[in-house]
Amino acid sequence: MSIQIQVEQAALGAIAGLALGSPHVGRTQFQRLTGYSPIPTRMSPHASLDSWLIWQKAHLENRKPFLYGQILLESLDDHTDETAFGLFNLRRGYGTPYSGSLDNPLSDGPRAILRSLIWGFLHFGNPQAAYTSAFHDAGIDHAGDGAWIPAALAVALSLSQPGDTAQDFLNRVTAILPAESQLHRITPAISKNIGNPEAAQFFANQFATNFPDINRSHCVATAAFALLGLLHSDQNSEQAMLIAAGCGGQSELSAATAAAIACFLWSPLRPDYITSLDPAFLATHALKHISPPAGIADFARLISESVALPLQGESLPQTQSGDLGEDQESLEQPNANPNSEDAPPPPLGEDSGGGQEPLEQPSTNSDSEDAPPPPLVLDLGGGREQELNDTNASLESDTPLPRVGSGEDQEQVQNITTPELTCTHNTTTTTELAGLIITANYLETPIAAPPVKKLQITIKNPTGETRNIALAITGPEGWQIASRIADCALRPGESVKFPTVIQPPTTTAPDTNLRLRVDNYQLLIPFLQPTQFSVLGPFVNIEGTGFSYEHPPEKNNQKIQSMTQPFSGRSEMGIRWQVQNFPATEFDLEPVFNGGPGVAYLYAHVTWNSSGLLNLQTQFPGGLKIWIDGTLVTSYNDTTPKPFLHASGSSEFTTAGESRILIKIVRGRDPIPPLRLAFYDESGRIITPQEFITDP
């Protein structure tokens, strides 16, 4: 049977798995299924299948993986769960993989597990290409296991052959995953008692007890349930899908993933899983600029016909570690330009013409044999200097990536170059400009406010000719920049790294972008407008009474605060409101409490881009109260960890375009994690305040 037929079966399996698993999403106990329950009349539209259409088109157009974030932003208006945060970061100018990790409380979610699986089909026999594409896809809105696991599944699929066992597949997955992956903790448990009909049910029902720190709806659990179905199915595609769906959690994704893999490895599902559905293919309303196929069968054929196979007599493509040929640049990370389009930015001036002599290579070139340059320093005023040494030392290593697995499975993946997996949170973003690949690596969260921020800019020449490049970097008025960026010449395939230190001013303006001039083009390197809240505390929290006790900030009806008013805090210490800069959604307040119990307050007077109904989502294991314009909208005192988007942290309020926000945080004896807080407009998009007003 041809690979295309196997892929067609897999696509139909994914559709059946989504329809089967959707009614069982959120279950916490195993349910033994024998088929559809209830029986659906049509397929379940899903953003993962929309994305398969987007990626199929991008694959045929040979689009580069570091552009996948921009492609998804333009093609899928999906503002649910972790994808909302990924698209939010893409709109702010950060490409993959930084779009998946920056300020994203749902980066370990499961939404890429089925979405990225298509790369194992499209790059069948080419695990390096499958890894690169799947990692950039998953990295749009995920980090850590949320990106590692989908990439590993795609790689394992690209290496598999029809007839391989579930254990073969699992071995390939664990061999490509980094040692830090939490899935390694679970694989021994799902591999126990294979052949025992009660084993899958026992694992699913004991999951919360055995793995209390892993949420049932996260990527690790979703992948575990899919793999559980494969291992305990006796190589029966239907049983693999039914077991995965019966585990609950994100059952539509685990069932669809198990069904797609099983139908590719083994045999198709019973025909009635598809024939019982209306034959029309249904896309979600989020899909843009792509006309979906008319029918389910058309969708499956479209995906299968896109699988590239070697011609008769040719071998499957092989890659060697560190030698990726023409695909080398695809391991770079994506677009940092907040106004990026497929076309390059407009020229800044006239081309200086050809005939230039090659310039001397800059001393920061990784291949340079010259002595290292003196330390790069930035004058901070008052006789202080900030030194930037090896900015990338913590992110790069010559040590091989640790592998899990051995023997034949180890050998199958040893040639896959996976530098990104050595970083828990990858902080790079890449674009292509003037024929060059330009990567910005943010070494601190890029907030446009003090203290000093460190950045490394890498420029690579992917062409076959030596390039003489004119370079310069500038910032908004008041920004201090120290960088070794200078004109240079790059031979074919060569790259150069420029450490850069930035000191933003204490006051922010609307423009927070650095500008990198490359020949006659300009690239924006984005920094975030700071989220400025005033912080007050700590007040006392005597024997846990701090949640109900009203400290002075609560003692007026409108909760309007005076920024100059002094207070008596814990241990009779004098305290005042202090302005602090935070990322958009994360507020680390543990330093305020100095290691002890207490109460702290956050306050902001903000304006919004528009008026209307806004949704507020919070996550904090402790005591939390939030007032909007004097109205209490959130109130709970519960130290039990709950996932972001849990119902207990959801509230709504109406604004006329301006709001005063007061937040009360209660800490007990134990340290507290950061408060997570995000605002959504009526369309479901994440938004941030337009302006922070300083009250008297």
**DSSP for 176-215, written as a single string:** HS-TT-THHHHHHHHTTTTT-TTHHHHHHHTHHHH-TTS-
Tell me the per-residue pLDDT of 44-101, one tens digit each, with 9 for 90 and over: 999 999 999 999 999 999 999 999 999 999 999 999 999 999 999 999 999 999 999 9
In angstroms, the first-to-last Cα distance of the chain is 75
- Strand 675-680 and strand 686-687: the pairing is antiparallel
Q: Which residue, among 133, 84, 145, 156, has the nearest Cα to 109 in the 3D structure?
A: 145
- How confident is the model at residue 351, as a pLDDT? 34
- How confident is the model at residue 394, as a pLDDT? 31
User: What CA–CA distances, in Å, run from 666 to 384, 545, 552, 566, 674?
Assistant: 37, 9, 15, 20, 12
Place 1 in a pLDDT band, splitting at 50, 70 and 90. Answer: low
- In the chain, CATH 2.60.120 covers 531-693
Q: Which residue, among 586, 555, 566, has the nearest Cα to 102 in the 3D structure?
A: 586
Which phi and psi (to 5°) does residue 95 adopt? -95, -175
Higher pLDDT, 149 or 402: 149
- How confident is the model at residue 419, as a pLDDT? 38
Which amino acid appears at position 377 of this protein?
Answer: V
What is the overall mean pLDDT for the chain? 85
H or E, element range at 476? none
d(CA 330, CA 393): 22
Place 116 in a pLDDT band, splitting at 50, 70 and 90. Answer: very high
The number of beta carbons lying within 10 Å of the beta carbon of residue 69 is 31
Task: Select the highest-mean-pLDDT range: 234-248, 343-357, 630-644.
Answer: 234-248
- Decide yes or no: CATH 2.60.120 for domain 531-693: yes
Look up residue 326 and give its DSSP letter. G
Tell me the mean pLDDT in the region 155-183. 95
- How confident is the model at residue 496, as a pLDDT? 96
- How confident is the model at residue 32, as a pLDDT? 96
Which phi and psi (to 5°) does residue 386 adopt? -105, 125
Tell me the per-residue pLDDT of 318-329, one tens digit each, with 9 for 90 and over: 333 222 223 333
Which phi and psi (to 5°) does residue 688 adopt? -125, 155
Place 362 in a pLDDT band, splitting at 50, 70 and 90. Answer: very low
Tell me the mean pLDDT in the region 336-352. 34
Of all residues in the chain, the percent with pLDDT exceeding 70 is 83
- Contacts of 165-170 with C-beta under 8 Å, sequence gap 24+, read 165/235, 166/227, 166/230, 166/231, 166/233, 166/235, 166/240, 166/265, 167/191, 167/231, 168/409, 169/227, 169/230, 169/261, 169/265, 170/227, 170/230, 170/231
d(CA 447, CA 494): 31
- Strand 480-483 and strand 436-442: the pairing is unpaired
The CATH class of 379-390+425-528 is mainly beta
Q: Is the pLDDT of residue 13 over 80?
A: yes
- Contacts of 634-638 with C-beta under 8 Å, sequence gap 24+, read 637/547, 637/666
Place 694 in a pLDDT band, splitting at 50, 70 and 90. Answer: confident
CB 681 within 8 A of CB 610: yes
Place 296 in a pLDDT band, splitting at 50, 70 and 90. Answer: very high
Q: Which residue, among 166, 211, 158, has the nearest Cα to 184 in the 3D structure?
A: 211
Look up residue 576 and give its DSSP letter. -
Q: Which residue, among 239, 252, 224, 258, has the nearest Cα to 26 in the 3D structure?
A: 252
Cis? peptide before 538, omega within 30° of 0: yes
d(CA 227, CA 122): 21
How much is the pTM? Answer: 0.85
- In the chain, CATH 2.60.40.1230 covers 379-390+425-528
Which amino acid appears at position 28 of this protein?
Answer: T
Q: Which residues pair with 579 in a beta bridge?
A: 534
H or E, element range at 266? none
Contacts of 643 (CB under 8 A, 6+ apart): 106, 215, 217, 218, 619
- How confident is the model at residue 696, as a pLDDT? 85
Place 375 in a pLDDT band, splitting at 50, 70 and 90. Answer: very low
Place 2 in a pLDDT band, splitting at 50, 70 and 90. Answer: confident
Place 556 in a pLDDT band, splitting at 50, 70 and 90. Answer: confident
- How confident is the model at residue 505, as a pLDDT? 93
Asked which of 235-239, 307-311, 568-572 is least confident by mean pLDDT, the reply is 307-311
How much is the CA Rg of the chain, to the nearest whole Å?
Answer: 27
Tell me the mean pLDDT in the region 244-259. 98
Buried b (16+ CB within 10 A) or exposed e, 404-423: bbeeebeebbeebbbebbbb
Tell which CATH classification among 3.90.850.10, 1.10.4080.10, 1.10.10.10, 3.10.310.30 matches the domain 3-305: 1.10.4080.10
- How confident is the model at residue 413, as a pLDDT? 53
Q: Is the pLDDT of residue 345 over 90?
A: no
Which phi and psi (to 5°) does residue 99 adopt? -60, -25
Q: Is the pLDDT of residue 311 over 50?
A: no
- How confident is the model at residue 335, as a pLDDT? 37
Return the residue matching tokens 């369309």.
683
Higher pLDDT, 572 or 350: 572
d(CA 534, CA 576): 9
CB 127 within 8 A of CB 320: no
Q: How many CA atoms lie within 13 A of 16 on its CB side?
A: 32
- In the chain, CATH 1.10.4080.10 covers 3-305
Q: Which residue, among 226, 219, 50, 221, has the nearest Cα to 151 in the 3D structure?
A: 219
Higher pLDDT, 420 or 262: 262
